[in-house]
Amino acid sequence: MTTLSSRPGNGQTGPADDLVIALHDVHRRFHAVQALDGISLEVRKGEILGIIGRSGAGKSTLIRCLNGLERPDRGSIRIEGTEIAGLTERALQPLRRRIGMIFQHFNLLSAKTVEENVALPLKIAGLAREERRARARALLDLVGLADKASAYPAALSGGQKQRVGIARALAAEPALLLSDEATSALDPETTRSILALLRDINRKLGLTIVLITHEMDVVRAVADRVAVIDAGRIVEEGPVWRVFSDPQAQITRSLLQGSRPQLPETLAARLGEPASGSTAILSLDAAGQAVVDGVQATLARLSPEGVRILHGGIEQIQSQPVARLFLGLPGEQALVDRVLSDLSAQGARLEVLGHVANPV
């Protein structure tokens, strides 16, 4: 059986020659629409980068620029050190073989078997039949479909079709895998299995992956780093755990609403000004083991004074604890100020959301 090559590295830091993607000040306009407005971005070997934004934010234009299907109006796009913005279509062909693509709707050829679909890029590249077949079967084994080699796409589930799409994208041993909303047509359970497969491939092969998505849960499940795009600009980027715990841009906070605990509507509807005997409602965000440990110890110390956790929790993102909590405490200003001071000293970020009349 053909063996699958492995590339080292997790892509987080490294020298300039470790860069797979380097974009600088990339612009692209379509008539009155500024699709990309000064995008600068780097992706290193072995990294999984999630690029997230709403529809129309510029995600699709960006991914088409990365594989040379769109040409920027100005700016630099380097793939493995090669400037591609000015290349002819002929000169782009070898580079495109270094880039695999997986799509939302699979794009499989219905008249070809699973094995033939996977082997198609190798046939185009001129490999001998036996070599194509061996490579295709090794890839089908990698994605868990070794028993489906002779099946046709119509006989497969959506998740199986996407696994075939992933195997086909890996056929030419690319340096870069681009995923364009590859899970948005799948149910949640199948999505989880596809994301686990992508993470497994990343670890086994050291493959660099860029995921284009509008779903924060996809980013949280698989990405090392996230870049948030809005109106053609990168408005925020960083490690996933840090962006989830401390979103800076309004668009990021909006995208995260479905992925982070929110104040229950029954409490939010009652928020008002301080009054005698009212309860102050605070939001608390904290991330990192030392910070979360300090917050928990401080809350335990403050609990005899009536400080309570009303909602929220602590989750693990990239092996880092991330806390999002909503606190209730007696509304006396002196106590509110002390709670804010004591928890802020531990590294937590707090906001007084308002007060509600008792009981809470």
Q: What is the pLDDT of residues 24-83, one digit of tens each?
A: 999 999 999 999 999 999 999 999 999 999 999 999 999 999 999 999 999 999 999 999
Residue with token string 């490999």: 127
Whether 7 shows a pLDDT value over 60: the answer reads no
Mean pLDDT of the 111-138 span? 93
Could you tell me which of 201, 214, 217 has the C-alpha nearest to residue 166? Answer: 201
pLDDT exceeds cutoff 80 at 12: no
Whether residue 243 lies inside any domain: the answer is: yes
Residue 200 sits in the same domain as residue 298: no
9, pLDDT greater than 60: no
Instruction: Tally the domains of the chain.
Output: 2
Give 193-230 pLDDT, tens digit per residue.
999 999 999 999 999 999 999 888 899 999 999 999 99
Q: What is the amino acid identity at position 142?
A: L
Proportion of the chain above pLDDT 70, given as a percent: 95
Interstrand relation of 320-330 and 279-287 (parallel, antiparallel or unpaired): antiparallel
* Residue 8 reports pLDDT greater than 70: no
300 and 198 assigned to the same domain: no
Reading phi first (left if > 0) and then psi (alpha if -120 to 50, else beta), residue 318 is in left
What per-residue confidence (pLDDT) applies to 360? 72
Q: How far is CA 231 from the centre of its chain?
A: 18
**Residues 47 and 186 occupy one common structural domain:** yes
- Residue 142 predicted with pLDDT over 90: yes
Residue 218 lies in a domain: yes
CB neighbourhood size of 126 (10 A): 7
Query: Do 217 and 271 fall into the same domain?
Result: no
Does residue 11 lie in a domain region?
A: no
Strands, E, within 189-232: which ranges?
Answer: 208-213, 225-230
The reply to whether 224 and 179 lie within a common domain is: yes
Q: Which of 49, 36, 14 is nearest to 227 (CA)?
A: 49
What is the reported pLDDT for 14? 52
Q: What share of the chain is helix, strand, coil (3-state, %, to 5)?
A: 35, 30, 35
Q: Are residues 235 and 333 in the same domain?
A: no
Check which CATH number belongs to the domain holding 288 and give it: 3.30.70.260
Is 334 or 257 the better-scoring residue by pLDDT? 334
Quick one: DSSP state of residue 93?
H
Categorize the per-residue pLDDT at 15 as very low, low, confident or very high, splitting at 50, 70 and 90.
low
Question: What integer pLDDT is reported at residue 186 of this predicted model?
Answer: 87
Mode of pairing for the β-strands spanning 176-180 and 208-213: parallel
Q: What angle do CA 158, 174, 196 make, to 5 degrees?
A: 40
Is residue 169 one of the residues assigned to a domain?
Answer: no
pLDDT of residue 93: 86
Residue 328 lies in a domain: yes
Res. 4: pLDDT tops 70:
no
Residue 1 has pLDDT above 70, yes or no: no
Give domain status of residue 128, yes or no.
Answer: no
| Residues 6 or more apart whose Cβ sits within 8 Å of residue 33 | none
Q: Tell me what pLDDT residue 165 has.
A: 94
Task: Tell me, yes or no, whether 180 and 269 share the same domain.
Answer: no
Shared domain check, 340 and 232: no
User: Across the chain, what does the average pLDDT equal?
Assistant: 91
Parent domain of 349: 265-356
Burial group, residue 8, by CB count within 10 angstroms (0-12, 13-18, 19+): exposed
| Pairwise CA distance, residues 72 & 170, whole Å | 27
Cα–Cα nearest to 11, from 242, 143, 176: 176
Say yes or no: 216 and 324 in one domain. Answer: no
Query: Looking at the predicted structure, is the pLDDT value of residue 11 above 50?
Result: no
Domain boundary among 231, 255, 279: 255
Phi, psi of 143, rounded to the nearest 5 degrees: -95, 10
Lowest mean pLDDT among 12-16, 233-237, 301-305: 12-16
Is the preceding peptide bond at 359 cis, omega within 30 degrees of 0? yes
Report the alpha-carbon distance of residue 11 to residue 43 in Å, rounded. 7
Residue 155 lies in a domain: no
**SS3 at position 204:** helix
Residues 66 and 31 both lie in one domain:
yes
pLDDT at 171 over 60: yes
> What's the CA angle centered on 108, arms 166 and 105, to 5 degrees?
75
Whichever domain contains 76, its CATH number is 3.40.50.300
- 117 forms beta bridges with none
92, 212: one domain: yes
Task: Report the residue count for the chain.
Answer: 360
| C-alpha span between 221 and 219 (Å, rounded) | 5
Q: So what's the pLDDT on residue 16?
A: 59
* Domain final position from 187, 222, 255: 255
**In this structure, are 288 and 237 located in the same domain?**
no
**Domain boundary residue, one of 236, 255, 274:** 255
Order of strands across the sheet that contains 82-83: 33-44, 19-30, 74-79, 82-83
Q: What is the average pLDDT across 323-338? A: 95
Cα distance between residue 191 and residue 193, in whole Å: 5
| Residue 140, domain member (yes or no) | no
Residue 97 tokens read as 């073989």
Mean pLDDT of 4-23: 61
